[in-house]
Structure 1
């Protein structure tokens, strides 16, 4: 079980590093991308857009009703 958690963490870290590479606020982007990745087990490709690739990631909302995931 611990091994699976490490694999998921590595997956999320690598995907979120790509996703957030051009973000103005990388710390915030990486934080929320990581939360979304852990919940959804998916991160859209590229640095922006492509959210159709991952409906869970796309549909997560913040407390104000806006998109949670970068």
Structure 2
């Protein structure tokens, strides 16, 4: 009986970890898309600041991607451990 309960809990943890990883990936995609759209609008308004806007966009996108990677790793670790 106890083994069945533990197996059911383990299965729901796996589903939760997969959903968490998916939400992290979707959130990162949305965030990077908004960063790119805002950068394009800023470049259209001030073409002389293209270099500064582009470098800031790359740094911010890398930070968002890093946070998403950490979230996915935490979800996968909770799935396998």
For this structure pair, what is the TM-score category when the shorter chain's length is used for normalisation? 0.3 to 0.5
Structure with greater Cα Rg: 2
Structure with the bigger RCO (C-alpha within 8 Å, sep 6+) is: 2
**TM-score, length basis structure 1:** 0.41
Q: Which structure has more helix as a fraction of its residues? A: 2
TM-score under structure 2 normalisation? 0.36
